[in-house]
Amino acid sequence: MDLGIAGKWALVCGASKGLGLGCAVALAREGAHVVMVARGAEALEAAAAALRADAALPAGTQVLTVAADITSVEGRARVFAQRADYDIVITNAGGPPPGDFRDWGRETWIKAVDANMLTPIELIKATVDGMVARGFGRIVNITSSAVKAPIDILGLSNGARSGLTGFIAGVARNPKLAAANVTVNNLLPGAFDTDRLRGTMEGASKKTGKPIEAIAEARRKAIPAQRFGEPGEFGSTCAFLCSRQASYITGQNVLIDGGAYPGTY
Ligand code: NAP
């Protein structure tokens, strides 16, 4: 299927690794020009170089980078100095740390809300009017399955991302956006084989004294698909949500979790 997004400009945040990189690869393979953002310049340049060398990229597809902290005003200014008008925006930044809510003060909460709620809202604010004017826009927020099935030690994530989810439910249904072919959706990962998942399992291993292999095996067995997701399949779903064909899908929370969420709805 031709997703009809060749030549569109995509901003992909958190794109040097993991799920963000999966999205950048899938969009670029469809011929969308991508601007990849992450803080660490070395990993970002390596990821961009590998993508430029990808034989599946249509000729002329541009892959640009901005090494910046997307949660900072200054970082976002640098991203928009690179290019102001994006047709596709994938919001993403690292997830907040696990812990006990008794240990989290105001500063910790502000940081989590800033990264996982206010940053996506700022990115939407900066791009959505241009999308409406051009009659095409796709915004995909990488959130978490924890929005539907909260995880107790990830209270910062559960809370901050739920705030974003409520905001998106409203803004996506604004007729000025939806009738102008501008869609806003959330993509909710379950357990994906990325550095973040490995880091979480290492933390659990240290805390419990169980070997990391045993922790990974138990986690895998709890997923009906009996495996972790691959960033490539996450990216493909993201690219479909960004396609011309997906213009009637907006305001949705799309779970991609191998069947792990146990509810009917
Ligand atoms: P990952 O493998 O750790 O990759 C995170 C990417 O985001 C890296 O490229 C990182 O590069 C970049 N990044 C982090 N903070 C940033 C910032 N402030 N500004 C710009 N770039 C930033 O993580 P992932 O597994 O792909 O996770 C992506 C998102 O999905 C996270 O919010 C995570 O909580 C959520 N999630 C993941 C899973 C899973 O199983 N993997 C499950 C549920 C939810 P730099 O560090 O160099 O900036």
- Torsion, Cα 34 189 78 8, to 10 degrees, reads 30
Residue 178: enclosing H or E segment and its boundaries? helix 175-178
Q: Ligand 1 atom closest to Cα of 146? A: 43
| C-alpha of residue 18 to centroid of ligand 1, in Å | 7
CA angle (245, 70, 107) in 5-degree steps = 125
The answer to whether the beta carbons of residues 238 and 254 sit under 8 Å apart is no
* Ligand 1 lined by 164 (C-beta under 6 Å): no
**pLDDT at 51 > cutoff 90:** yes
* Ligand 1 lined by 216 (C-beta under 6 Å): no
* pLDDT level of residue 207 (50, 70, 90 thresholds): confident
Give the predicted TM-score (pTM) of the model. 0.98
| C-alpha of residue 106 to centroid of ligand 1, in Å | 23
* Ligand 1 lined by 95 (C-beta under 6 Å): yes
A 10 A CB-CB count for 239 gives 27
* Ligand 1 lined by 229 (C-beta under 6 Å): no
Which residue's alpha carbon is at the smallest distance from atom 6 of ligand 1?
14
Closest-CA residue to 255 (of 109, 178, 149)? 149
* pLDDT level of residue 151 (50, 70, 90 thresholds): confident
**pLDDT at 165 > cutoff 90:** yes
| C-alpha of residue 88 to centroid of ligand 1, in Å | 19
Q: Ligand 1 atom closest to Cα of 38? A: 21
Output the pLDDT for position 186. Answer: 98
Closest-CA residue to 15 (of 120, 90, 114)? 90
At position 238, the amino acid (one-letter code) is C
